[in-house]
Amino acid sequence: MLDSVAGFAAPYVTVALAGTGMSALVLAGLRLVESRDYRTRTLMMFSPLAGSLLLGLAVSPSCFAHWLQVGAADALHLICSDPGYAYIRSICGSWVTLMCASFLAAGAVVTLGYFLGGRALRTWYGYRRASDDDLGGLREGIAEMCEAAGMGVPVVYLSGSGRPTVFSHGGHGEPGIYLSVGLLESLSRDEVLASVGHELAHIRNRDTLWVSAASGLKVASAFNLAGFLLEPALSRDREYLADADGAKLSGRPYALASALVKMAAAAGGGAGEAVLGGLFMGLFAPGAGGRGLLSRHPPLGERVRRLLEPV
Amino acid sequence: MSGGEWIDFQPHKEDLAKVLGDLEAAVMRSVWEMGAGDVRSIHEHLARDRGVAVTTVATVLDRLHGKGLVDRTLMKGGVARYEYRPSMSREQFEGTVVRSVLMGLFETFGESAFSYLVQSAGIMDREAAEELRRNLERLREGKG
């Protein structure tokens, strides 16, 4: 009986091990090779996430067909029609449940992160469109950076919070940059522009799409346990990329480093920040989604080092 | 939220830190001394005594605003920024703390707390003891 169960479960176990193995290999490889080609690294990290999902989908049809009792023609599932092996159905049930729950959760993650992210930010945190008075001349600086980057000027939103925060959302709808009064009043003009440059780089690099897609794939192929380390690693790389591109865009690498240090000093890591850090691209959100290998933001010291090292 | 809900009484700490965080207490002292100011001026005032980032001061002020201890108004001209001012004087603040802590003690320890305070009155001068007696009577009558 055990042999039968092992044989029947083998494809699912193999898929889980293959997905996890691929992801772990890529993670280990990228940790060993310290490359700054963040775009290539993104593709390398994305591949095992997408590959895991494809493997999962490949073994699912006959299992779903059997579970839904619409006929399972493959040899593996012939055993299911034998009344003596009825318990086999529970293996299919587990796989079907895992895949359905994963897809529903992944749909929610992508919908909230990519499609509704901007609206969610504005609704939950009370952002409104910033007026020229609010920005006190910053708008010209932002427009200059956008022109240099060859991109449209995103909508700038402002929240009344006294905490210094800055986020961007470049998913569905108009891209937006989200500042707080606390940011404008506690950072210098150069630091604010450098922070906005970082967020503009996120928008230009389509990071909301990359991170939402990676989060969706991670959740959809939940059997790939190493995927839960791969997606935060991909997010960290997109932060490094936004640091590098943003510093070039604003021409203010020192101001960006200074802003990062100041934001780190202010970070409280409350629930709101955890939610924001998970769904949107922010300048600095320690504690958002975990620390170390699970953190979506790189360590402060390393970010500053990379920003300040000679090109 | 200025009825004392924010009070987390820690008797072993010094001064205002008994009821606020260390940084919150330091920022509150600065705000009281200055009367009003924006984040940068409060930070400058605070930075005379201790090294602290301006963003930390902004975060602490936001928290104090959430507790109802400071009011803020959006200022006109330049980038958006707030002017912060205390929502109550230091004396009113102390009154709120004492009332809240004593009510908590009476609710929990009842007669024991009352007896101890009456005994304490014996080692006070006459005027202070009379003041204490009046306050206790007010508290017992629920006039707070």
Residues B23 and B68 in one domain: yes
List chain A domain ranges. 2-108, 117-308
Per-residue pLDDT of chain B (144 residues; tens, 9 = 90+): 556 677 777 777 777 777 788 889 999 999 999 999 999 999 999 988 888 899 999 999 999 999 999 999 999 888 999 999 999 999 998 888 888 888 878 788 777 877 777 777 666 677 777 777 787 777 777 655
pLDDT above 70 (res A228): yes
**What's the CA gap between A63 and A75, in Å, rounded?**
12
- Min mean pLDDT across A6-15, A249-258, B59-68 is at A6-15
Nearest to B80 among A184, A189, A262 (CB): A184
CA angle, residues B128, B133, B136, in degrees to nearest 5:
125
Which residues of chain A make contact with B74, given a CB cutoff of 8 A? 160, 181
Nearest to B39 among A134, A185, A261 (CB): A185
**What's the CA gap between A58 and A176, in Å, rounded?**
38
- What is the number of domains present in chain B? 2
**What's the CA gap between A158 and A134, in Å, rounded?**
8
Per the model's pLDDT, the better-predicted residue between B109 and A70 turns out to be B109
Chain mean pLDDT for chain B: 84
Residues B110 and B72 in one domain: no
pTM, whole model, 2 decimals? Answer: 0.84
- Is B118 a domain residue? yes
What ranges in chain B are assigned the alpha helix state H?
22-34, 39-47, 54-66, 90-109, 111-121, 126-140
**At which of B53, B68, B87 does a domain end?**
B87
Q: B102 and B78 in contact (C-beta within 8 Å)?
A: no
Residues B70 and B30 in one domain: yes
What ranges in A79-125 are assigned the alpha helix state H?
88-110, 117-125
CA angle, residues A247, A209, A263, in degrees to nearest 5:
40
- Is B3 a domain residue? no
Per the model's pLDDT, the better-predicted residue between A118 and A70 turns out to be A118
**At which of B68, B87, B106 does a domain end?**
B87
pLDDT above 90 (res A128): yes
Residues B75 and B118 in one domain: no
Mean pLDDT of A212-240: 93
Q: Mark yes or no for CB contact A182/B74 under 8 Å.
A: no
pLDDT in the model for residue B109:
79
**What's the CA gap between A28 and A38, in Å, rounded?**
16
pLDDT in the model for residue B20:
85
- Is B1 a domain residue? no
Helix (H, G, I), strand (E, B) or coil at B135: helix
The residues, any chain, with a CB within 8 Å of residue B100's CB and separated by 6 or more, are: B3, B4, B7, B9
What are the strands, taking DSSP E only, across chain A?
A: 128-129, 155-159, 166-169, 176-180, 281-282
Residues B73 and B108 in one domain: no
User: How far is C-alpha A149 from the chain's CA centre?
Assistant: 23
Burial class (CB in 10 A: 0-12, 13-18, 19+), A207: buried
**Of A210, A85, A184, residue with least CA distance to A131:** A184
pLDDT bucket at A293, cuts 50 / 70 / 90 = confident
**What's the CA gap between A280 and A295, in Å, rounded?**
14
Phi, psi of A166 (to 5 degrees): -150, 130
Residue B133, CB-side half-sphere exposure with 13 Å CA sphere: 10
Residues 14-53 of B with CB under 8 A from A: 38-40, 43, 52-53
Identify the CATH number of the domain in which residue B40 sits.
Answer: 1.10.10.10
Residues B64 and B97 in one domain: no
Q: Mark yes or no for CB contact A164/B58 under 8 Å.
A: yes
- Is B9 a domain residue? no
B13-18, long-range: CB < 8 A, 24+ apart = B18/B97
Q: Mark yes or no for CB contact A162/B72 under 8 Å.
A: yes
- Is B7 a domain residue? no
Which residues of chain A make contact with B61, given a CB cutoff of 8 A? 162
pLDDT in the model for residue B27:
94
pLDDT above 70 (res A276): no
Q: What is the pLDDT of residues A72-127, one digit of tens each?
A: 566 667 666 677 777 777 788 888 899 999 999 999 999 998 999 888 888 988 99
> What is A117-308's CATH topology?
Zincin-like (3.30.2010)
What are the strands, taking DSSP E only, across A122-235?
A: 128-129, 155-159, 166-169, 176-180
Residues B21 and B76 in one domain: yes
- Domain extent for B118: 91-140
Phi, psi of A58 (to 5 degrees): -65, -35
pLDDT above 70 (res A188): yes
**What's the CA gap between A95 and A61, in Å, rounded?**
11
Which residues of chain A make contact with B53, given a CB cutoff of 8 A? 261-262, 265-266
Nearest to B62 among A130, A158, A161 (CB): A161
pLDDT in the model for residue B104:
79
Residues B52 and B102 in one domain: no
